[in-house]
Structure 1
Protein backbone atom coordinates (compact mmCIF):
# COMPACT_ATOMS: atom_id res chain seq x y z
CA UNK A 1 0.00 0.00 0.00
CA UNK A 2 1.25 3.48 -0.85
CA UNK A 3 2.18 5.94 1.85
CA UNK A 4 -0.30 8.77 2.40
CA UNK A 5 2.37 11.04 0.95
CA UNK A 6 4.87 9.54 -1.46
CA UNK A 7 8.32 10.97 -2.10
CA UNK A 8 7.25 13.25 -4.97
CA UNK A 9 4.25 14.62 -3.10
CA UNK A 10 6.34 15.22 0.01
CA UNK A 11 9.01 17.01 -2.05
CA UNK A 12 6.39 19.25 -3.65
CA UNK A 13 4.82 20.07 -0.30
CA UNK A 14 8.18 21.13 1.09
CA UNK A 15 9.59 22.99 -1.91
CA UNK A 16 6.79 24.23 -4.18
CA UNK A 17 5.81 27.22 -2.07
CA UNK A 18 5.77 30.24 -4.37
CA UNK A 19 4.99 31.51 -7.87
CA UNK A 20 4.29 28.90 -10.58
CA UNK A 21 5.42 26.14 -8.23
CA UNK A 22 2.82 27.09 -5.63
CA UNK A 23 0.12 27.15 -8.32
CA UNK A 24 1.09 23.59 -9.27
CA UNK A 25 0.35 22.46 -5.70
CA UNK A 26 -2.81 24.59 -5.48
CA UNK A 27 -4.11 23.11 -8.73
CA UNK A 28 -3.29 19.57 -7.62
CA UNK A 29 -5.05 20.08 -4.31
CA UNK A 30 -8.05 21.58 -6.11
CA UNK A 31 -8.23 18.60 -8.48
CA UNK A 32 -7.99 16.21 -5.56
CA UNK A 33 -10.66 18.04 -3.57
CA UNK A 34 -13.03 18.12 -6.53
CA UNK A 35 -12.83 14.33 -6.81
CA UNK A 36 -13.15 13.80 -3.06
CA UNK A 37 -16.38 15.79 -3.08
CA UNK A 38 -17.80 13.54 -5.78
CA UNK A 39 -17.07 15.65 -8.84
CA UNK A 40 -15.99 14.28 -12.21
CA UNK A 41 -12.96 15.37 -14.25
CA UNK A 42 -12.23 15.88 -17.92
CA UNK A 43 -8.65 16.01 -19.13
CA UNK A 44 -7.88 17.62 -22.48
CA UNK A 45 -4.66 16.74 -24.30
CA UNK A 46 -3.16 19.04 -26.91
CA UNK A 47 0.40 19.16 -28.20
CA UNK A 48 2.39 15.94 -28.38
CA UNK A 49 1.81 14.63 -24.88
CA UNK A 50 1.54 11.00 -25.99
CA UNK A 51 4.92 11.21 -27.73
CA UNK A 52 6.20 12.78 -24.51
CA UNK A 53 5.11 9.50 -22.83
CA UNK A 54 2.55 11.08 -20.52
CA UNK A 55 1.03 7.61 -20.46
CA UNK A 56 3.45 6.62 -17.71
CA UNK A 57 1.39 8.68 -15.26
CA UNK A 58 -1.89 9.19 -17.15
CA UNK A 59 -2.53 5.46 -17.49
CA UNK A 60 -2.30 5.15 -13.72
CA UNK A 61 -4.72 8.07 -13.32
CA UNK A 62 -7.18 6.23 -15.56
CA UNK A 63 -6.80 2.93 -13.71
CA UNK A 64 -7.36 4.70 -10.40
CA UNK A 65 -10.53 6.48 -11.59
CA UNK A 66 -8.97 9.94 -11.37
CA UNK A 67 -10.24 10.92 -14.82
CA UNK A 68 -13.75 10.40 -16.18
CA UNK A 69 -13.42 11.55 -19.79
CA UNK A 70 -10.67 12.73 -22.15
CA UNK A 71 -10.75 15.20 -25.02
CA UNK A 72 -7.69 14.84 -27.23
CA UNK A 73 -6.33 15.54 -30.65
CA UNK A 74 -6.14 12.75 -33.22
CA UNK A 75 -2.37 12.86 -32.87
CA UNK A 76 -2.48 12.09 -29.14
CA UNK A 77 -5.01 9.32 -29.76
CA UNK A 78 -2.69 7.49 -32.17
CA UNK A 79 0.77 8.42 -30.91
CA UNK A 80 0.34 6.61 -27.62
CA UNK A 81 -0.31 3.41 -29.60
CA UNK A 82 2.63 4.13 -31.89
CA UNK A 83 4.90 4.41 -28.88
CA UNK A 84 3.45 1.15 -27.56
CA UNK A 85 4.38 -0.82 -30.68
CA UNK A 86 7.50 0.96 -32.00
CA UNK A 87 9.28 2.48 -29.00
CA UNK A 88 12.68 0.95 -29.74
CA UNK A 89 12.70 2.54 -33.19
CA UNK A 90 12.17 6.10 -31.95
CA UNK A 91 15.16 8.39 -32.35
CA UNK A 92 16.00 11.19 -29.91
CA UNK A 93 17.94 14.23 -31.09
CA UNK A 94 19.03 16.30 -28.09
CA UNK A 95 20.63 18.95 -30.33
CA UNK A 96 17.49 19.46 -32.43
CA UNK A 97 17.93 23.27 -32.32
CA UNK A 98 21.11 22.89 -34.36
CA UNK A 99 19.60 20.93 -37.24
CA UNK A 100 19.91 22.43 -40.71
CA UNK A 101 17.21 22.17 -43.39
CA UNK A 102 19.34 19.44 -44.99
CA UNK A 103 19.47 17.55 -41.67
CA UNK A 104 15.67 17.71 -41.52
CA UNK A 105 15.39 16.51 -45.11
CA UNK A 106 17.69 13.59 -44.33
CA UNK A 107 15.42 12.60 -41.45
CA UNK A 108 12.46 12.65 -43.82
CA UNK A 109 14.28 10.48 -46.34
CA UNK A 110 15.04 8.02 -43.56
CA UNK A 111 11.31 7.98 -42.71
CA UNK A 112 11.59 9.87 -39.44
CA UNK A 113 9.02 12.51 -38.51
CA UNK A 114 10.38 14.88 -35.86
CA UNK A 115 8.48 16.25 -32.86
CA UNK A 116 10.91 18.58 -31.07
CA UNK A 117 13.69 16.21 -29.93
CA UNK A 118 11.90 12.96 -30.75
CA UNK A 119 11.59 11.35 -34.18
CA UNK A 120 8.67 9.01 -34.82
CA UNK A 121 9.67 6.10 -37.09
CA UNK A 122 7.15 6.13 -39.92
CA UNK A 123 7.49 2.54 -41.08
CA UNK A 124 7.51 0.88 -37.67
CA UNK A 125 4.90 3.16 -36.07
CA UNK A 126 2.33 4.14 -38.70
CA UNK A 127 2.54 1.11 -40.94
CA UNK A 128 2.53 -1.41 -38.07
CA UNK A 129 -0.92 -0.14 -37.18
CA UNK A 130 -2.28 0.64 -40.65
CA UNK A 131 -3.12 -2.82 -41.97
CA UNK A 132 -4.96 -3.74 -38.77
CA UNK A 133 -6.99 -0.54 -38.50
CA UNK A 134 -7.79 -0.73 -42.23
CA UNK A 135 -9.34 -4.16 -41.68
CA UNK A 136 -11.37 -2.91 -38.73
CA UNK A 137 -12.68 0.06 -40.76
CA UNK A 138 -13.59 -2.13 -43.73
CA UNK A 139 -15.19 -4.83 -41.60
CA UNK A 140 -17.37 -2.22 -39.89
CA UNK A 141 -18.43 -0.73 -43.21
CA UNK A 142 -19.28 -4.16 -44.61
CA UNK A 143 -21.60 -4.69 -41.63
CA UNK A 144 -23.15 -1.25 -41.99
CA UNK A 145 -21.64 -0.17 -38.67
CA UNK A 146 -20.21 3.23 -37.76
CA UNK A 147 -18.00 4.17 -34.83
CA UNK A 148 -16.08 7.10 -33.42
CA UNK A 149 -12.31 7.26 -34.08
CA UNK A 150 -11.42 6.27 -30.52
CA UNK A 151 -13.81 3.31 -30.64
CA UNK A 152 -11.97 1.92 -33.65
CA UNK A 153 -8.71 2.32 -31.73
CA UNK A 154 -10.25 0.53 -28.74
CA UNK A 155 -11.25 -2.35 -31.02
CA UNK A 156 -7.69 -2.47 -32.34
CA UNK A 157 -6.14 -2.61 -28.86
CA UNK A 158 -8.64 -5.04 -27.35
CA UNK A 159 -8.40 -7.43 -30.31
CA UNK A 160 -4.88 -8.37 -29.20
CA UNK A 161 -3.42 -8.20 -32.72
CA UNK A 162 -0.77 -5.71 -31.62
CA UNK A 163 0.40 -7.55 -28.50
CA UNK A 164 3.31 -9.29 -30.23
CA UNK A 165 4.65 -5.85 -31.16
CA UNK A 166 4.54 -4.25 -27.69
CA UNK A 167 7.86 -2.56 -26.96
CA UNK A 168 7.03 -0.84 -23.67
CA UNK A 169 5.37 -2.11 -20.53
CA UNK A 170 1.67 -2.00 -21.52
CA UNK A 171 0.84 -0.47 -18.15
CA UNK A 172 2.43 2.75 -19.48
CA UNK A 173 -0.01 3.09 -22.39
CA UNK A 174 -2.84 5.44 -21.49
CA UNK A 175 -4.85 4.35 -24.53
CA UNK A 176 -4.68 0.71 -23.46
CA UNK A 177 -5.77 1.68 -19.93
CA UNK A 178 -8.62 3.73 -21.43
CA UNK A 179 -9.69 0.88 -23.72
CA UNK A 180 -9.78 -1.56 -20.82
CA UNK A 181 -11.97 0.90 -18.87
CA UNK A 182 -13.99 1.88 -21.96
CA UNK A 183 -13.26 5.45 -20.91
CA UNK A 184 -15.25 8.09 -22.82
CA UNK A 185 -13.08 10.06 -25.27
CA UNK A 186 -13.90 12.84 -27.71
CA UNK A 187 -11.50 13.54 -30.58
CA UNK A 188 -12.37 16.80 -32.35
CA UNK A 189 -10.72 17.34 -35.72
CA UNK A 190 -9.60 13.71 -35.96
CA UNK A 191 -8.93 14.15 -39.67
CA UNK A 192 -5.94 16.31 -38.66
CA UNK A 193 -3.90 13.23 -37.75
CA UNK A 194 -1.91 10.54 -39.52
CA UNK A 195 -4.67 7.94 -39.19
CA UNK A 196 -7.22 10.54 -40.23
CA UNK A 197 -5.13 11.28 -43.34
CA UNK A 198 -4.83 7.57 -44.09
CA UNK A 199 -8.59 7.12 -43.73
CA UNK A 200 -9.16 10.09 -46.07
CA UNK A 201 -6.86 8.47 -48.64
CA UNK A 202 -9.06 5.35 -48.63
CA UNK A 203 -12.12 7.54 -49.15
CA UNK A 204 -10.42 9.30 -52.07
CA UNK A 205 -9.53 5.92 -53.59
CA UNK A 206 -13.13 4.76 -53.19
CA UNK A 207 -12.25 1.98 -50.75
CA UNK A 208 -14.21 3.42 -47.81
CA UNK A 209 -17.13 5.78 -47.23
CA UNK A 210 -16.47 8.95 -45.24
CA UNK A 211 -19.37 8.29 -42.85
CA UNK A 212 -17.88 4.96 -41.69
CA UNK A 213 -16.11 7.07 -39.08
CA UNK A 214 -18.46 9.24 -37.03
CA UNK A 215 -17.94 13.00 -37.30
CA UNK A 216 -16.98 15.85 -35.00
CA UNK A 217 -20.59 17.03 -34.90
CA UNK A 218 -21.61 13.59 -33.71
CA UNK A 219 -18.91 13.81 -31.02
CA UNK A 220 -20.41 17.13 -29.88
CA UNK A 221 -23.92 15.68 -29.76
CA UNK A 222 -22.63 12.74 -27.71
CA UNK A 223 -20.65 15.06 -25.42
CA UNK A 224 -23.69 17.27 -24.84
CA UNK A 225 -25.64 14.27 -23.59
CA UNK A 226 -22.74 13.13 -21.37
CA UNK A 227 -22.28 16.62 -19.94
CA UNK A 228 -25.98 17.09 -19.27
CA UNK A 229 -26.02 13.79 -17.38
CA UNK A 230 -23.13 14.74 -15.08
CA UNK A 231 -23.26 18.56 -14.73
CA UNK A 232 -25.08 18.41 -11.44
CA UNK A 233 -24.14 17.86 -7.79
CA UNK A 234 -20.43 18.75 -7.62
CA UNK A 235 -20.30 18.96 -11.40
CA UNK A 236 -17.45 18.40 -13.82
CA UNK A 237 -13.92 19.78 -13.68
CA UNK A 238 -11.66 20.61 -16.62
CA UNK A 239 -7.91 19.93 -16.58
CA UNK A 240 -6.47 21.42 -19.75
CA UNK A 241 -3.02 20.52 -21.06
CA UNK A 242 -2.13 23.07 -23.72
CA UNK A 243 -4.94 24.68 -25.71
CA UNK A 244 -6.28 24.33 -29.19
CA UNK A 245 -9.22 22.29 -30.39
CA UNK A 246 -8.90 19.57 -27.74
CA UNK A 247 -9.59 22.19 -25.09
CA UNK A 248 -12.10 24.54 -26.68
CA UNK A 249 -14.23 21.86 -28.35
CA UNK A 250 -14.95 20.19 -25.04
CA UNK A 251 -15.27 23.37 -23.00
CA UNK A 252 -17.82 25.04 -25.26
CA UNK A 253 -20.38 22.30 -24.62
CA UNK A 254 -21.41 24.16 -21.44
CA UNK A 255 -22.42 27.46 -23.11
CA UNK A 256 -23.97 25.56 -26.03
CA UNK A 257 -26.32 23.73 -23.70
CA UNK A 258 -27.24 26.92 -21.86
CA UNK A 259 -27.45 29.39 -24.73
CA UNK A 260 -28.49 27.29 -27.71
CA UNK A 261 -30.54 24.59 -26.00
CA UNK A 262 -31.80 26.86 -23.20
CA UNK A 263 -30.83 24.46 -20.43
CA UNK A 264 -30.66 26.51 -17.23
CA UNK A 265 -30.54 23.49 -14.94
CA UNK A 266 -26.89 22.54 -15.56
CA UNK A 267 -23.70 23.63 -13.85
CA UNK A 268 -20.89 25.27 -15.76
CA UNK A 269 -17.43 23.70 -15.41
CA UNK A 270 -16.72 23.48 -11.67
CA UNK A 271 -12.92 23.29 -11.63
CA UNK A 272 -10.48 24.61 -14.17
CA UNK A 273 -6.72 24.29 -14.58
CA UNK A 274 -4.66 25.05 -17.64
CA UNK A 275 -0.97 24.36 -18.19
CA UNK A 276 0.17 26.70 -20.93
CA UNK A 277 3.09 28.65 -22.36
CA UNK A 278 0.88 30.79 -24.61
CA UNK A 279 0.87 34.57 -24.15
CA UNK A 280 -2.42 36.10 -23.06
CA UNK A 281 -2.19 39.24 -25.21
CA UNK A 282 -2.04 37.40 -28.55
CA UNK A 283 -5.78 36.79 -28.74
CA UNK A 284 -5.43 33.03 -28.72
CA UNK A 285 -7.72 30.55 -26.99
CA UNK A 286 -4.65 28.78 -25.66
CA UNK A 287 -3.50 31.92 -23.88
CA UNK A 288 -6.76 33.30 -22.52
CA UNK A 289 -7.02 33.42 -18.75
CA UNK A 290 -9.93 31.79 -16.88
CA UNK A 291 -11.79 35.09 -16.39
CA UNK A 292 -12.23 35.41 -20.15
CA UNK A 293 -14.02 32.06 -20.13
CA UNK A 294 -16.56 33.47 -17.67
CA UNK A 295 -17.69 35.96 -20.32
CA UNK A 296 -18.36 33.06 -22.71
CA UNK A 297 -20.46 31.14 -20.19
CA UNK A 298 -17.90 28.33 -19.83
CA UNK A 299 -16.84 28.91 -16.21
CA UNK A 300 -18.86 30.30 -13.34
CA UNK A 301 -17.82 33.30 -11.27
CA UNK A 302 -16.84 31.02 -8.37
CA UNK A 303 -15.21 28.18 -10.34
CA UNK A 304 -11.82 27.40 -8.73
CA UNK A 305 -9.35 28.24 -11.50
CA UNK A 306 -5.61 27.91 -11.97
CA UNK A 307 -3.18 28.86 -14.73
CA UNK A 308 0.28 27.32 -14.67
CA UNK A 309 2.62 29.04 -17.10
CA UNK A 310 5.10 26.28 -17.67
CA UNK A 311 6.01 23.19 -19.66
CA UNK A 312 3.22 20.61 -19.57
CA UNK A 313 5.70 17.73 -20.00
CA UNK A 314 7.13 18.75 -16.62
CA UNK A 315 4.03 19.92 -14.79
CA UNK A 316 1.33 17.40 -15.73
CA UNK A 317 3.22 14.34 -14.41
CA UNK A 318 3.91 16.21 -11.17
CA UNK A 319 0.22 16.99 -10.65
CA UNK A 320 -0.72 13.41 -11.49
CA UNK A 321 1.95 12.19 -9.06
CA UNK A 322 0.42 14.39 -6.35
CA UNK A 323 -3.08 13.02 -6.95
CA UNK A 324 -1.77 9.45 -7.01
CA UNK A 325 0.17 10.09 -3.79
CA UNK A 326 3.47 9.07 -5.37
Structure 2
Protein backbone atom coordinates (compact mmCIF):
# COMPACT_ATOMS: atom_id res chain seq x y z
CA UNK A 1 0.00 0.00 0.00
CA UNK A 2 1.19 3.51 -0.87
CA UNK A 3 0.63 6.14 1.81
CA UNK A 4 0.30 9.87 1.10
CA UNK A 5 2.10 11.99 3.67
CA UNK A 6 2.90 15.67 4.06
CA UNK A 7 6.60 16.48 3.75
CA UNK A 8 8.35 19.01 5.96
CA UNK A 9 10.60 21.04 3.62
CA UNK A 10 12.94 21.76 6.54
CA UNK A 11 13.62 18.02 6.89
CA UNK A 12 16.55 17.80 4.44
CA UNK A 13 16.42 14.02 4.07
CA UNK A 14 12.70 14.01 3.30
CA UNK A 15 13.04 17.01 1.00
CA UNK A 16 15.89 15.31 -0.87
CA UNK A 17 13.77 12.19 -1.42
CA UNK A 18 10.89 14.38 -2.65
CA UNK A 19 13.25 16.26 -4.96
CA UNK A 20 14.69 13.06 -6.41
CA UNK A 21 11.22 11.87 -7.45
CA UNK A 22 10.63 15.11 -9.35
CA UNK A 23 14.08 14.92 -10.93
CA UNK A 24 13.44 11.37 -12.13
CA UNK A 25 9.93 12.20 -13.37
CA UNK A 26 11.16 15.12 -15.49
CA UNK A 27 14.49 13.64 -16.63
CA UNK A 28 13.29 12.92 -20.18
CA UNK A 29 11.98 16.41 -20.84
CA UNK A 30 14.14 18.83 -22.84
CA UNK A 31 15.77 21.93 -21.40
CA UNK A 32 16.00 22.47 -17.65
CA UNK A 33 12.60 21.37 -16.33
CA UNK A 34 13.71 20.67 -12.74
CA UNK A 35 15.86 22.85 -10.46
CA UNK A 36 19.14 21.65 -9.06
CA UNK A 37 19.12 20.26 -5.53
CA UNK A 38 21.12 23.23 -4.30
CA UNK A 39 18.34 25.51 -5.54
CA UNK A 40 15.44 23.52 -4.10
CA UNK A 41 16.99 22.93 -0.68
CA UNK A 42 17.25 26.71 -0.22
CA UNK A 43 14.12 27.97 -1.97
CA UNK A 44 11.48 25.51 -0.77
CA UNK A 45 11.99 25.92 3.01
CA UNK A 46 12.37 29.71 2.74
CA UNK A 47 9.65 31.85 4.32
CA UNK A 48 7.61 33.68 1.70
CA UNK A 49 4.65 35.92 2.57
CA UNK A 50 3.63 35.88 -1.10
CA UNK A 51 2.69 32.21 -1.20
CA UNK A 52 2.00 29.14 0.90
CA UNK A 53 3.66 25.86 -0.10
CA UNK A 54 2.60 22.31 0.75
CA UNK A 55 4.67 19.27 -0.22
CA UNK A 56 3.32 15.74 -0.13
CA UNK A 57 4.92 12.40 -0.88
CA UNK A 58 3.64 8.98 -1.91
CA UNK A 59 5.46 6.52 0.35
CA UNK A 60 5.79 2.78 -0.35
CA UNK A 61 7.52 1.18 2.59
CA UNK A 62 10.65 3.27 3.05
CA UNK A 63 10.72 4.67 -0.50
CA UNK A 64 9.16 7.83 -1.91
CA UNK A 65 7.60 7.00 -5.27
CA UNK A 66 5.52 10.12 -5.88
CA UNK A 67 5.78 13.81 -5.07
CA UNK A 68 3.18 16.57 -4.99
CA UNK A 69 3.40 20.34 -4.69
CA UNK A 70 0.64 22.84 -3.93
CA UNK A 71 1.22 26.58 -3.91
CA UNK A 72 -1.32 29.26 -2.92
CA UNK A 73 -0.94 33.01 -3.45
CA UNK A 74 -1.42 35.00 -0.25
CA UNK A 75 -1.80 38.57 -1.54
CA UNK A 76 -4.30 38.31 -4.42
CA UNK A 77 -6.11 35.57 -6.37
CA UNK A 78 -6.99 33.98 -3.05
CA UNK A 79 -9.45 31.68 -4.80
CA UNK A 80 -6.65 29.89 -6.69
CA UNK A 81 -3.97 27.29 -6.08
CA UNK A 82 -1.36 25.59 -8.29
CA UNK A 83 -1.05 21.80 -8.07
CA UNK A 84 1.71 19.59 -9.47
CA UNK A 85 2.15 15.81 -9.22
CA UNK A 86 5.19 13.72 -10.13
CA UNK A 87 5.53 9.94 -10.15
CA UNK A 88 8.77 7.98 -10.32
CA UNK A 89 9.02 6.54 -13.85
CA UNK A 90 9.11 2.91 -12.67
CA UNK A 91 5.86 3.41 -10.71
CA UNK A 92 3.58 5.03 -13.27
CA UNK A 93 0.13 3.65 -14.16
CA UNK A 94 -0.51 2.50 -10.59
CA UNK A 95 -2.91 5.31 -9.64
CA UNK A 96 -0.26 7.16 -7.63
CA UNK A 97 -0.59 10.36 -9.65
CA UNK A 98 -4.35 10.38 -9.18
CA UNK A 99 -4.02 9.96 -5.41
CA UNK A 100 -1.50 12.80 -5.24
CA UNK A 101 -3.75 15.17 -7.19
CA UNK A 102 -6.79 14.24 -5.12
CA UNK A 103 -4.87 14.96 -1.91
CA UNK A 104 -3.62 18.29 -3.24
CA UNK A 105 -7.19 19.23 -4.13
CA UNK A 106 -8.32 18.38 -0.60
CA UNK A 107 -5.62 20.66 0.85
CA UNK A 108 -6.62 23.43 -1.56
CA UNK A 109 -10.31 23.12 -0.69
CA UNK A 110 -9.47 23.23 3.00
CA UNK A 111 -7.74 26.55 2.35
CA UNK A 112 -10.80 27.95 0.58
CA UNK A 113 -9.37 27.65 -2.93
CA UNK A 114 -12.07 27.01 -5.54
CA UNK A 115 -9.94 27.19 -8.69
CA UNK A 116 -7.04 24.78 -9.12
CA UNK A 117 -4.49 25.38 -11.85
CA UNK A 118 -1.73 23.14 -13.13
CA UNK A 119 0.48 22.46 -16.14
CA UNK A 120 1.04 19.69 -18.66
CA UNK A 121 4.00 19.43 -21.03
CA UNK A 122 3.94 17.99 -24.54
CA UNK A 123 6.35 17.67 -27.46
CA UNK A 124 5.97 20.69 -29.79
CA UNK A 125 2.74 20.23 -31.72
CA UNK A 126 2.26 16.75 -30.26
CA UNK A 127 0.20 14.93 -27.65
CA UNK A 128 1.13 13.08 -24.50
CA UNK A 129 -0.11 11.10 -21.53
CA UNK A 130 0.01 14.17 -19.29
CA UNK A 131 -2.79 15.87 -21.24
CA UNK A 132 -4.99 12.76 -21.11
CA UNK A 133 -4.36 12.42 -17.37
CA UNK A 134 -5.26 16.08 -16.77
CA UNK A 135 -8.53 15.75 -18.67
CA UNK A 136 -9.38 12.56 -16.79
CA UNK A 137 -8.90 14.50 -13.54
CA UNK A 138 -11.32 17.20 -14.71
CA UNK A 139 -8.83 19.87 -15.82
CA UNK A 140 -9.51 21.96 -18.91
CA UNK A 141 -6.88 23.60 -21.10
CA UNK A 142 -7.11 27.33 -20.32
CA UNK A 143 -4.10 28.49 -22.36
CA UNK A 144 -1.34 27.12 -24.56
CA UNK A 145 2.25 28.32 -24.39
CA UNK A 146 5.49 27.54 -26.18
CA UNK A 147 8.54 26.84 -24.03
CA UNK A 148 11.61 28.07 -25.88
CA UNK A 149 15.34 27.72 -25.40
CA UNK A 150 18.17 29.97 -26.59
CA UNK A 151 21.80 28.94 -26.79
CA UNK A 152 24.11 31.87 -26.17
CA UNK A 153 26.18 31.08 -29.25
CA UNK A 154 23.05 31.58 -31.40
CA UNK A 155 22.30 34.84 -29.62
CA UNK A 156 25.77 36.25 -30.10
CA UNK A 157 25.64 35.44 -33.82
CA UNK A 158 22.45 37.51 -34.20
CA UNK A 159 23.04 40.25 -31.66
CA UNK A 160 24.64 42.99 -33.79
CA UNK A 161 22.02 42.86 -36.54
CA UNK A 162 19.23 43.05 -33.96
CA UNK A 163 20.83 46.07 -32.32
CA UNK A 164 20.19 48.01 -35.54
CA UNK A 165 16.45 47.21 -35.29
CA UNK A 166 16.42 48.17 -31.61
CA UNK A 167 17.72 51.65 -32.45
CA UNK A 168 14.07 52.65 -32.90
CA UNK A 169 13.98 52.83 -29.11
CA UNK A 170 16.76 55.44 -28.90
CA UNK A 171 14.37 58.09 -27.56
CA UNK A 172 14.24 56.02 -24.36
CA UNK A 173 17.04 55.61 -21.83
CA UNK A 174 17.71 51.95 -20.96
CA UNK A 175 19.21 51.26 -17.55
CA UNK A 176 20.21 47.91 -16.08
CA UNK A 177 20.57 46.59 -12.53
CA UNK A 178 21.00 43.37 -10.59
CA UNK A 179 17.79 42.58 -8.66
CA UNK A 180 17.41 45.85 -6.71
CA UNK A 181 15.51 48.61 -8.50
CA UNK A 182 16.93 52.15 -8.18
CA UNK A 183 14.93 54.11 -5.62
CA UNK A 184 13.94 56.87 -8.04
CA UNK A 185 12.10 54.41 -10.30
CA UNK A 186 10.45 52.27 -7.63
CA UNK A 187 6.94 53.78 -7.73
CA UNK A 188 6.78 53.77 -11.52
CA UNK A 189 8.12 50.21 -11.62
CA UNK A 190 5.34 49.10 -9.28
CA UNK A 191 2.73 50.73 -11.52
CA UNK A 192 4.05 48.73 -14.48
CA UNK A 193 4.14 45.46 -12.52
CA UNK A 194 0.51 46.02 -11.62
CA UNK A 195 -0.36 45.94 -15.33
CA UNK A 196 1.17 42.52 -15.89
CA UNK A 197 -1.91 40.32 -15.52
CA UNK A 198 -4.04 42.61 -17.65
CA UNK A 199 -1.47 42.88 -20.46
CA UNK A 200 -0.15 39.30 -20.72
CA UNK A 201 -2.42 36.90 -22.67
CA UNK A 202 -3.98 34.60 -20.06
CA UNK A 203 -6.50 32.71 -22.15
CA UNK A 204 -9.18 31.39 -19.80
CA UNK A 205 -7.01 31.47 -16.67
CA UNK A 206 -8.97 32.99 -13.79
CA UNK A 207 -6.38 35.46 -12.50
CA UNK A 208 -6.73 39.09 -11.41
CA UNK A 209 -4.23 41.94 -11.45
CA UNK A 210 -2.07 42.72 -8.42
CA UNK A 211 -0.82 45.84 -6.68
CA UNK A 212 2.92 46.30 -6.21
CA UNK A 213 3.82 48.84 -3.56
CA UNK A 214 7.44 49.89 -2.99
CA UNK A 215 7.48 47.83 0.21
CA UNK A 216 6.28 44.73 -1.61
CA UNK A 217 8.90 45.15 -4.33
CA UNK A 218 11.70 45.55 -1.77
CA UNK A 219 10.55 42.45 0.12
CA UNK A 220 10.49 40.43 -3.11
CA UNK A 221 13.98 41.64 -4.01
CA UNK A 222 15.33 40.60 -0.62
CA UNK A 223 13.88 37.11 -1.01
CA UNK A 224 15.70 36.74 -4.32
CA UNK A 225 18.95 37.87 -2.71
CA UNK A 226 18.45 35.47 0.20
CA UNK A 227 18.16 32.41 -2.08
CA UNK A 228 21.05 33.45 -4.32
CA UNK A 229 18.98 34.39 -7.37
CA UNK A 230 20.03 37.34 -9.52
CA UNK A 231 17.35 39.17 -11.49
CA UNK A 232 19.33 40.88 -14.22
CA UNK A 233 16.94 43.66 -15.19
CA UNK A 234 16.68 46.22 -18.00
CA UNK A 235 14.31 49.14 -17.62
CA UNK A 236 13.27 51.64 -20.30
CA UNK A 237 12.89 55.20 -19.02
CA UNK A 238 10.63 57.49 -21.04
CA UNK A 239 11.55 61.14 -21.70
CA UNK A 240 9.18 62.16 -18.87
CA UNK A 241 11.09 59.92 -16.43
CA UNK A 242 8.46 57.18 -16.10
CA UNK A 243 9.19 53.48 -16.51
CA UNK A 244 7.98 52.55 -20.00
CA UNK A 245 9.03 48.90 -20.03
CA UNK A 246 10.98 46.24 -18.18
CA UNK A 247 12.46 42.82 -18.85
CA UNK A 248 14.68 40.49 -16.85
CA UNK A 249 16.82 37.36 -16.95
CA UNK A 250 17.17 35.26 -13.79
CA UNK A 251 20.27 33.25 -12.91
CA UNK A 252 20.96 31.34 -9.69
CA UNK A 253 24.37 31.31 -8.05
CA UNK A 254 24.09 27.52 -7.81
CA UNK A 255 23.50 27.05 -11.56
CA UNK A 256 25.26 29.84 -13.48
CA UNK A 257 25.25 27.95 -16.78
CA UNK A 258 21.48 28.33 -17.23
CA UNK A 259 18.99 31.16 -16.84
CA UNK A 260 15.34 31.97 -17.35
CA UNK A 261 13.57 35.00 -18.74
CA UNK A 262 11.24 36.34 -16.05
CA UNK A 263 8.91 39.13 -17.11
CA UNK A 264 8.81 41.37 -20.15
CA UNK A 265 6.23 44.14 -20.29
CA UNK A 266 5.94 47.43 -22.16
CA UNK A 267 3.42 50.09 -21.14
CA UNK A 268 0.74 50.20 -23.91
CA UNK A 269 1.29 53.95 -24.17
CA UNK A 270 4.88 53.32 -25.27
CA UNK A 271 4.49 50.47 -27.72
CA UNK A 272 5.61 50.64 -31.33
CA UNK A 273 9.19 51.75 -30.57
CA UNK A 274 10.89 48.30 -30.46
CA UNK A 275 11.24 48.63 -26.70
CA UNK A 276 10.66 44.92 -26.13
CA UNK A 277 13.57 44.03 -28.39
CA UNK A 278 15.81 46.75 -26.91
CA UNK A 279 15.08 45.56 -23.36
CA UNK A 280 15.73 41.92 -24.20
CA UNK A 281 19.01 42.78 -25.87
CA UNK A 282 20.04 44.70 -22.77
CA UNK A 283 19.19 41.86 -20.36
CA UNK A 284 20.83 39.23 -22.52
CA UNK A 285 23.96 41.36 -22.91
CA UNK A 286 24.07 41.87 -19.15
CA UNK A 287 23.68 38.14 -18.48
CA UNK A 288 26.43 37.26 -20.97
CA UNK A 289 28.78 39.84 -19.45
CA UNK A 290 28.04 38.76 -15.88
CA UNK A 291 28.10 34.97 -16.38
CA UNK A 292 30.88 33.86 -18.75
CA UNK A 293 29.83 30.21 -18.33
CA UNK A 294 26.21 30.87 -19.32
CA UNK A 295 25.12 28.26 -21.88
CA UNK A 296 21.41 28.80 -22.46
CA UNK A 297 18.27 30.65 -21.44
CA UNK A 298 14.66 29.55 -21.55
CA UNK A 299 11.37 31.38 -21.71
CA UNK A 300 7.69 30.72 -22.38
CA UNK A 301 5.01 32.70 -24.17
CA UNK A 302 1.36 32.20 -25.00
CA UNK A 303 1.02 30.89 -28.55
CA UNK A 304 -1.34 33.79 -29.32
CA UNK A 305 1.27 36.37 -28.26
CA UNK A 306 2.55 36.78 -31.80
CA UNK A 307 4.55 39.95 -31.08
CA UNK A 308 6.61 38.48 -28.24
CA UNK A 309 7.05 35.19 -30.07
CA UNK A 310 8.45 37.10 -33.06
CA UNK A 311 10.92 38.95 -30.82
CA UNK A 312 12.08 35.73 -29.19
CA UNK A 313 12.47 33.93 -32.51
CA UNK A 314 14.54 36.85 -33.83
CA UNK A 315 16.81 36.49 -30.79
CA UNK A 316 17.29 32.81 -31.62
CA UNK A 317 14.85 31.06 -29.27
CA UNK A 318 13.48 27.75 -30.53
CA UNK A 319 10.44 25.86 -29.23
CA UNK A 320 11.31 22.74 -27.26
CA UNK A 321 7.95 21.97 -25.59
CA UNK A 322 4.30 22.91 -25.57
CA UNK A 323 2.95 23.97 -22.18
CA UNK A 324 -0.74 23.50 -21.45
CA UNK A 325 -2.03 25.81 -18.70
CA UNK A 326 -4.72 23.77 -16.95
CA UNK A 327 -7.64 24.84 -14.79
CA UNK A 328 -10.35 23.16 -12.74
CA UNK A 329 -13.14 25.03 -10.98
CA UNK A 330 -15.17 23.54 -8.18
Q: Which has the higher contact order (CA 8 A, sep 6+)?
A: 1
Q: Identify the structure with the greater strand proportion.
A: 2
- TM (norm. structure 2) is 0.26
- TM (norm. structure 1) is 0.26
Q: Identify the structure with the greater helix proportion.
A: 1
